[in-house]
Amino acid sequence: MKPAPFDYERPRSLDDALQLLAERGEDAIPLAGGQSLVPMMNLRLTRPAILVDLNEVPGLDGIDERDGMLVIGAMARQRDVERSPLCARLSPLLASALRHVGNPQTRNRGTIGGNLAHADPASEVPTAVAATGGVIVLASRDGTRELDCDAFFTRPYTNARNPGELVVEVRIPVLRRDQGWAFEEVAPSYAAQAIVAVSAVADAGGVRAAVAGIAGSPRVVSHPGELVDVEDPYRRAVAADLVQRVSARALERAAAA
């Protein structure tokens, strides 16, 4: 199939992009890497009246350290973040999770902001952001606001972005010296969507693990016993096992730090 007809704009500045989004409201959808959006448009699961292409907007692809945070622009390519020495040092959990997203070809084009905005309940990147306590930053003509994962991910493939807003960056707390981390997933094959994925950060006070694949958004738990209410028995068993293993590995790394 082919997408339904749509208008197309390619703004050259963030101000212009926000102006277009404000003017067109719910009719407008931002286009970043397009690795998830374009297939959905081809299947006509999504029918935007206008695409606002962000690929010519400067300043949205940075990877920086600021105020104890790893700050990643929404247009940063997944492969660039995965290979970033700064990400490897400040948030190795995110770098590890990214290696499981799609394949190198899709990661060369896909963006961090696009992945988060897509809000796939089985996606790996949201688990890393949730486990670290990171926040997603949205901008509009009225200013910016920060949302944690509980507030940003509302239901499968849906986020809390309002008409006229744009995801501009994600801020992830830098891994402390006393913390450990781990990531693991179960998937049917290489590059296939995960059945369950788990990210965890641990210190002497305990574990914060985020689980994908068992709910409409990443679920944060501190131990496997909190998963007894997962309805699917197979996913419940897989998730509990992964949380146990990933938590133990994160605690080992924290103890060795």
What is the rounded distance in angstroms from the CA atom of residue 239 to the CA atom of residue 170? Answer: 26
What is the rounded distance in angstroms from the CA atom of residue 206 to the CA atom of residue 99? Answer: 26
Distances (CA, A) of 188 to 3, 50, 193, 195, 218: 29, 36, 8, 7, 20
Closest C-alpha among 128, 238, 112, 222 to residue 183: 128
Q: What is the CA radius of gyration of the chain?
A: 18
pLDDT tens track for 36-50: 898 888 989 889 999
- Which pLDDT score is estimated for 73? 98
pLDDT tens sequence for the chain (257 residues): 788 899 999 999 999 999 999 999 999 999 999 998 988 889 898 899 999 999 999 999 999 999 999 999 999 999 999 999 999 999 999 999 999 999 999 999 999 999 999 999 999 999 999 999 999 999 999 999 999 999 999 999 999 999 999 999 999 999 999 999 999 999 998 878 999 999 999 999 999 999 999 999 999 999 999 999 999 999 999 999 999 999 999 999 999 97
**Residue showing tokens 């190198």:** 104
- Which pLDDT score is estimated for 70? 98
Sign of CA dihedral 156, 157, 162, 165: positive
- Which pLDDT score is estimated for 162? 96
SS3 164: coil
Q: Is the Cβ–Cβ distance between 178 and 257 less than 8 Å?
A: yes
Burial of 188: CB neighbours in 10 Å, binned 0-12, 13-18, 19+:
exposed
The structure tokens listed for 10 are 């390619």
What is the rounded distance in angstroms from the CA atom of residue 70 to the CA atom of residue 21? Answer: 27
What is the rounded distance in angstroms from the CA atom of residue 186 to the CA atom of residue 213? Answer: 10
Domains in the chain, CATH or no CATH each:
7-53 (3.30.43.10), 63-173 (3.30.465.10), 180-256 (3.30.390.50)
Q: Is the Cβ–Cβ distance between 52 and 31 less than 8 Å?
A: yes
- Which pLDDT score is estimated for 192? 83
- Which pLDDT score is estimated for 19? 97
What is the rounded distance in angstroms from the CA atom of residue 48 to the CA atom of residue 3? Answer: 9
**Residue showing tokens 């190795």:** 92
The structure tokens listed for 79 are 């492969």
Which amino acid, one-letter code, is at 107?
R
* Residues making up the chain, counted from first to last: 257
What is the rounded distance in angstroms from the CA atom of residue 99 to the CA atom of residue 152? Answer: 23
